[in-house]
Amino acid sequence: MQIKNTAKEYDVIIVGSGAGGGMATKVLSEAGHSVAVVEAGPYFDPADPTTMTQLKWAWQSPRRGAGTTRFFGDYDQAYGGWEIDGEPYTQGDDTDFRWFRSRMLGGRTNHWGRISLRFGPDDFKKKSIDGLGDDWPISYDDIKPYYDKVDKLIGVFGSKENMYNEPDGFFLPAPKPRLHELFYINAARKSNVKVMPSRLSVLTKRLNTDRGVCYYCNGCARSCNVYADFSSGSCLIFPAQKSTGQVDLFVNSMVRTVTTNEEGKATGVSFIDKDENKEYKLKGKVVILAASACSSARILLNSKSKQHPNGLGNSSDLVGKYLHDSTGGDMMAFIPELINRKTYNEDGVGGMHVYSPWWLDNKKLDFPRGYHIEVWGGLGAPSYGTGFNVNSFNKFFGINKAGGYGDVLRSDMKKYYGSTIGLSGRGESVAMKSNYCEIDPNKVDKYGVPVLRFHYQWTDNEIKQAKHMQDTFEEIIHNMGAISLWNKPGKESNYGLTKPGQIIHEVGTTRMGSDPKDSVVNEFERLHDVSNVYVVDAGPFVSQADKNPTWTIMALAMRSSEHIVKEFKKQNF
C-alpha cells in the first residue's frame, strides 16, 4: 500500500461526519480554525437528485422497496447496514451483538428517527439514585446551555410539559396527532401512562432562510431534500463549508490510526483512500474522533505505539468497555374499529407525532431503569410486503378461512389497510464493564486493519424491563379494543428483548470521568492520556438514559468544541 503525505497541517482533524463530527466541524471552523473532515463513506447531499430517494414510489424500484440490499428498505438513506462487505466484526462466546454502520457523509443522521430528547437531571446521576453504573462528572446544569443552543441551531418540535426528568427546551410547535395516535392517547391514559407530543428535529416552522419547512411526506428516513429535518450534512457541515471556507472534506477515507510523536502527542491520522487503496497521512494539531462509539474505540485500540503500548488513551484499559445499547421491545396490534377506514393523506412527519416518556418510579419496580414508548401505524405508503397474508385477520372475526382468489382479495386489502398499530419500548440498560468491544487478534478487514470483536450479555435488569414493556403493551392494546398480532414473548425469549446493538444506540466505549484510572476522557471529552485527542461521538456516555443519544452527542460535542477553541486561544496545542 502506497503512503502519501500531505504537507498541510490542519488545526483540527475530525474523524467522522455524523452528529458529533458535524457539530465539531461547525463550531471549530466558525471559530476560524482549519478543519479536515475524514469520512469513511462517499459524499452525500440529501438534495442531490441522483442519490435522492425521497418521494420515490415503490414501483420505481424493481424490488418495490424490499429490504434485500438496504436493511430498512430501498429508500432508507443509510449506506452500509448490519454487515459491510470486506469489513467484518466478530463475536466473543455467546455474544450476538449487532453493529449498524452507515458509511456516507452525515453518517446515520441521514436516516435516523429524529427523536431529539434531552437527558434529564437524574440521567447524569444514576449511581446516586440506584447504586448501579456510575454518575457522570457533569450535571444537567453543565449541559443545559448547550442543549438550548442545539435546539435553536437545529430546530426541534415539542411541547412544554414541566416534567423534571424530561426537560423542556426551545421547541417549534408539534404536528397534530394522527388517527391511530388518538387511539393510543386514549388507551394509554386509561393505564395512567403519560402521553405527550413527540420531540423530533423536523422543522414544522421556518428556522432560517437556508432550510425549508416540512412538507409532510413521511420521508425523514430518506433524508430531506429541502433540509427540513436534521442531518449532519445539511445542517452543520454544508453551512460550515459555505460560511467559513475552512473545511476540507476527505471522503471514502477510512482512518486506520491516530499518529503520535515521541512525546506521545497526536500528530494527525493515517487513513486509507478506499478509491485508490492507498494509505495517506494527514497532519493536525488536534484530532477529534467522531467515528461512532465502536469505530472510535477501534481506531484508538489500533493506534499502538511505544508511548501508548495498550492503544491510544487506554492506560485505564477501559477503551471499548462499558459498551451499551438501548433495550428494545415491540408489539403490533390490529384495531378492529379501523377496518374499512376512509383514506386520506396521513403521512405527517417521518416519525411519531406522540410518545410516552418514562412515567414510573423504579424504586417501586423490580428493575432499575426506565423506557419510553414509541407509536407507529396508520395509512402508510405501500411497499414490498404490503398485501402479504391479506386476509389473515379474518380469524379475529371467527372466520376460519383465509386466502382465496379473485375480487374478494381487493376488498380484503382495503378492509384491513391502515388498521394496525405498533408500540415500541426503548429503554435504558445498565452500563457493564463486562460488555465490551476489543481488537480481534485473528482478523483484519479488506484493508488489513484489525477488526472489532464484541462481548455482550444482557442482565436481569434489562430482561425484567423487557417483561414490563410487554405487560404495558398488552394493557394498552386491550384498552384500545385492539388485538395483539404476535404471541406475547415469554421468558424463553427474554420477553422479546432485542439483541444488543439492534436499537443502534451503542454508547459508552470511551467513557467520561474525572479519575483517569476509571475513565477514558474528561468532562470535555479529551483523552486523559493525550492532551490533543478528543472523542465527540457517543463513546463518552457514562450511561444511556431512556432517551435517544443524538441530542446529547451534539450538546456535548458543542461544549467540547468550545473548550477546544479556548485551548487554542491559550495556545495549548
Partner 1 sequence: MNRRDSIKTITFASIGAGLLLEGCYGISSEKIKRSLTRYEYGRTPDEIAYDDKLFAQKFFTNKELSDLDKICNVILPPNEFGSIRDAEVVQLIEFMAKDIPSYQDPLRKGLDWINEESNSKFSKSFIELDDNSVKQIFDEIGFYDPNSNMSDLPEPVQWFNLVRNLTMTGYFTSEVGIKELGYKGNMPNVWDGVPQDVLDQYGLKYDEDWLEKCIDQSTRMTIAEWDDEATY
Residues 75-104 touching partner 1, rule: CB under 8 A, are: 75, 79
- Rounded distance between C-alpha atoms, residue 502 and residue 497, angstroms: 10
Shortest separation between residue 159's beta carbon and partner 1, angstroms: 4
Provide the sign of the torsion angle of the four alpha carbons 359, 360, 361, 363, taken in this order: negative
414 is written with which cell numbers? Answer: 382495503
By C-beta, is 150 or 288 nearer to partner 1? 150
Q: Which of residues 118-147 bind partner 1 (CB under 8 A)?
A: 144
**Distance in Å, CB of 258 to partner 1, minimum:** 29
| 340: amino acid identity, one letter | N
Q: How far is the CB of 212 from partner 1 (least distance, A)?
A: 10
| CA gap 293, 525 in Å, rounded | 12
Q: How far apart are CA 277 and CA 274, in angstroms?
A: 5
For partner 1, which residue of 60, 139, 434, 572 counts as binding (CB under 8 A)? 60
* Least spacing, CB of residue 399 vs partner 1, in Å: 8
Place of cell 437527558: 119
- In the complex with partner 1, the residue whose CB is nearer, 247 or 335, is 335
Near partner 1 by CB under 8 A: residue from 86, 309, 406, 441: 406
The string over 446-477, giving b where at least 16 C-beta atoms fall within 10 Å of a residue's C-beta and e elsewhere, is eeebbbbbbbbebeebbbbbbbbbbebbeebb
- CB 420 to partner 1: min, Å: 15
Which of 90, 95, 386, 484 touches partner 1 (CB under 8 A)? 386
Do 68 and 58 meet the contact criterion of CB atoms below 8 Å apart?
no
User: Least distance in Å: CB of 351 to partner 1?
Assistant: 12
**Per-residue contact flags (x/-) with partner 1 for residues 18 to 57, judged by CB under 8 A:** ------------------------x-------xxxx-xxx
Alpha-carbon span 83 to 201, nearest angstrom: 28
Query: Of residues 32, 145, 245, 387, which one binds partner 1 by CB under 8 A?
Result: 387
Choice from 72, 216, 447, 573 touching partner 1 (CB under 8 A): 216
**Residue 260 CA: distances (Å) to CA of 14, 277, 304, 530:** 16, 23, 9, 10
Q: Does 242 bind partner 1 (CB under 8 A)?
A: no
420 binds partner 1 (CB under 8 A): no
List the one residue from 129, 249, 409, 463 that touches partner 1 (CB under 8 A): 409
Q: How far apart are CA 314 and CA 321, in angstroms?
A: 11
Q: Shortest Cβ distance from residue 322 to partner 1 (Å)?
A: 28
Asked if 512 touches partner 1 (CB under 8 A), the answer is no
Three cell numbers written together for 430: 445498565
d(CA 228, CA 247): 23
Q: Quick one: angle between helices 550-569 and 19-30, nearest 10?
A: 30
Does position 273 interact with partner 1 (CB under 8 A)? The reply is no
Q: Least separation, in Å, of the C-beta of 396 and partner 1?
A: 9
Q: How far is CA 87 from the centre of its chain?
A: 20
Kindly state whether residue 442 participates in binding partner 1, applying the rule CB under 8 A: no
Q: How far apart are CA 26 and CA 151, in angstroms?
A: 15
Q: Which stretch binds partner 1 (CB under 8 A): 94-102, 401-409, 462-470, 527-535?
A: 401-409
Q: Which of residues 328-357 bind partner 1 (CB under 8 A)?
A: 337, 341-349
